[in-house]
Amino acid sequence: MFGVRIIVFAATLGGVAAFVPLDLADATPRQSSKGNHSSGLREAHAKQHSRASYAKREARTHQARKSSPQIAVKASASARLGARPARWCGWWMRSQFGGGPELNLARNWKSWGRPSGPRVGAVVVWPSHVGVITGRAASGQWVVKSGNDGGRVRERPRSVAGAVFRTGGAAG
């Protein structure tokens, strides 16, 4: 705008678009409605500065996301486990305990490891959900950590009535 040429560079890495303004010397002065072209240049400079600040902020945000351990873990988990399915509690458990893609389906965890009772470290398997016991609440309920619990990884007391418990690795 206002005669300032802008190059738009769309970076496919991370899907980030950066706006890179060229030198203001290339700007073509325009007359404002009041006949003062210097105010038009000031507006152009202010907009250019604003775009440059935006691009710098976006670059910092992108760098922070890139270096964030949480993002790095998600990227490496996807590379190792394959794409996260819509029902992903089993997929998340694979990130914690290993196993093949058949364990993306919660009920398949019933054949993982060895039978057990409820205890810390045991995998708890319901017909359509799977998690790991991490503790016991004052109420007596077991504290379970699982993926896709309300759309996120969550740790909370849960009833384990009717669930199957497994420990270990290879079936035995």
Q: Work out the mean pLDDT of the chain and round it to a whole number.
A: 74
58-94 tens-digit pLDDT: 666 555 545 545 445 555 666 778 888 899 999 999 9
pLDDT at 4: 36
pLDDT at 115: 96
pLDDT at 46: 62
- DSSP run (H or E) holding 134: strand 129-136
Tokens 């600040």 label which residue?
53
Mean pLDDT, rounded, for 17-37: 47
- Single-letter residue type at 98: G
pLDDT at 80: 78
pLDDT at 79: 72
- DSSP run (H or E) holding 143: strand 142-146
Contacts of 136-142 with C-beta under 8 Å, sequence gap 24+, read 142/118
Mean pLDDT, rounded, for 141-170: 94
- Name which of 56, 54, 29, 55 is nearest 43 in CA terms: 29
* pTM of the entire predicted model: 0.55
125-136 tens-digit pLDDT: 999 999 999 999
Confirm if 109 and 125 have CB atoms less than 8 A apart.
Answer: yes
Query: What's 169's DSSP letter?
Result: S
Lowest mean pLDDT among 15-29, 116-130, 135-149: 15-29
**Tokens representing residue 12 in the block:** 């496919």
pLDDT at 172: 44
All domains in the chain, ordered by first residue: 6-67 (no CATH), 89-167 (2.30.30)
User: Mean pLDDT highest for which of 23-27, 66-70, 105-109?
Assistant: 105-109
